[in-house]
Amino acid sequence: MNAPHPTALLREQLYRDIDPLNLTPLWEVLHALVPQQPTSPCVPGLWKYEEVRPFLMRAGEAITAEEAVRRVLILENPALRGQSAITQSLYAGLQLILPGEIAPSHRHTQSALRFIVEGSGAYTAVDGERTSMRPGDFIITPSWTWHDHGHEGPAMSDASTSGEPVVWLDGLDIPMIRFLDAGFAENNTSKSQTVSRAEGTSYARYGHNMAPVRHDAPFGGTSPIFSYPYERSREALERLERDAPVDAWDGVKLRYLNPLTGGSPMPTMATFMQKLPAGFDGKGWRQTDGAVYSVVEGQGRAVIEGGGRSWTFEFAPRDHFVVPSWHTTRLSSENGCVLFSFSDRPVHQALGIHHEERL
């Protein structure tokens, strides 16, 4: 049996001696700290709505929206269980509100998006203005703005659609804010904030390629439009599918924007809507920003590869899936589909570290 090399003994003794001083040698961890390419601990994940929805309804029986403050089932990345995160920087969850309920008013430094998945009859209020929530709508809650949600529809025994439960996807930058130790929150003194502006006021001011002559950005770096209706988004996608070339990687894909800056609707999150035409078989791509997808219409397939592994997700309406950073993805659809997605791309771009490959 060979004796340890003198140099190895010196190193071991050095490590023992510096440990009480909370020191550690860089050369032992440099390869992990500065990898040759991104090595996310996250893995792809798929949440089938037909499997998730029964548990959302059971949550509606187990706790009220007021008791829960926000009645949400968190979509946790399979490799990040217990961290309330779908990627290392993003949070996602499915929120349920029932007829007659109010999710009480509060505010926080975390920016939030709502993408309506199911049902009609509910509303969200932001900074004194309400907007109705309809499937496919994209709604923003800017950082540090009062917001509450409610459902004024009749009881679910009523046959009208306004008596339906309403479910939406919540997307927040909670892990990012947690990493920066910058989280603040405050509960309002009343359940619902006072409505001071008519519904649609924000869209009328900023949603028609026009803006007030004299104005300040009401929400700082966040879009002054806090509700983007699905009918307008889908109309644009259909027109482009008909009249413009279809991208070989994305199909027809558009990004939502802040009309005052031309940038992303929120400083920390970008949002997108895309349509895969019937028969679309996309080429592979990968990007440093991890992305969360909500299936709006139609069926399709996502083939995701990374870390020597491969995942194939067959998705249908209202399903959700996550593509982690630097995982190669190919999207396809036999009959066509529409996908909403969000990612942390604005942060990557602001730091000058965003990278994308179209294979």
User: How far apart are the C-alpha atoms of 93 and 175, rounded to whole Å?
Assistant: 13
Better pLDDT: 168 or 190: 168
pLDDT tens digits along 110-150: 999 999 999 999 999 999 999 999 999 999 999 999 999 99
Query: Judging by beta carbons within 10 Å of its beta carbon (0-12, 13-18, 19+), is residue 73 exposed, middle or buried?
Result: middle
Nearest to 129 by CA among 54, 206, 58, 51: 206
Residue 94 pLDDT > 50: yes
pLDDT tens digits along 2-34: 767 788 999 999 999 999 999 999 999 999 999
Quote the tokens at residue 12: 């071991």
Residue 160 pLDDT > 50: no
132 neighbors 113 (Cβ within 8 angstroms): no
Tell me, what's the pLDDT at 21? 98
State the pTM of this model: 0.94
pLDDT tens digits along 41-89: 999 999 999 999 999 999 999 999 999 999 999 999 999 999 999 999 9
User: How far apart are the C-alpha atoms of 176 and 336, rounded to whole Å?
Assistant: 34
The gap from C-alpha 48 to its chain's centroid, in whole angstroms, comes to 17
Binned at pLDDT 50, 70 and 90, residue 155 comes out as low
- Mean pLDDT in the chain? 94
Give backbone dihedrals phi and psi of 18, rounded to 5 degrees, phi first.
-90, -15
323 neighbors 44 (Cβ within 8 angstroms): yes
Binned at pLDDT 50, 70 and 90, residue 162 comes out as low
User: How far apart are the C-alpha atoms of 47 and 56, rounded to whole Å?
Assistant: 13
Binned at pLDDT 50, 70 and 90, residue 343 comes out as very high
The gap from C-alpha 351 to its chain's centroid, in whole angstroms, comes to 20
Tell me, what's the pLDDT at 153? 72
Domains and CATH numbers, the chain: 42-358 (2.60.120.10)
Tell me, what's the pLDDT at 152? 86
- Helix, strand, coil shares of the chain as percentages rounded to 5? 20, 35, 45
Query: Judging by beta carbons within 10 Å of its beta carbon (0-12, 13-18, 19+), is residue 180 exposed, middle or buried?
Result: exposed
Tell me, what's the pLDDT at 193? 85
pLDDT tens digits along 216-235: 888 889 999 999 999 999 99
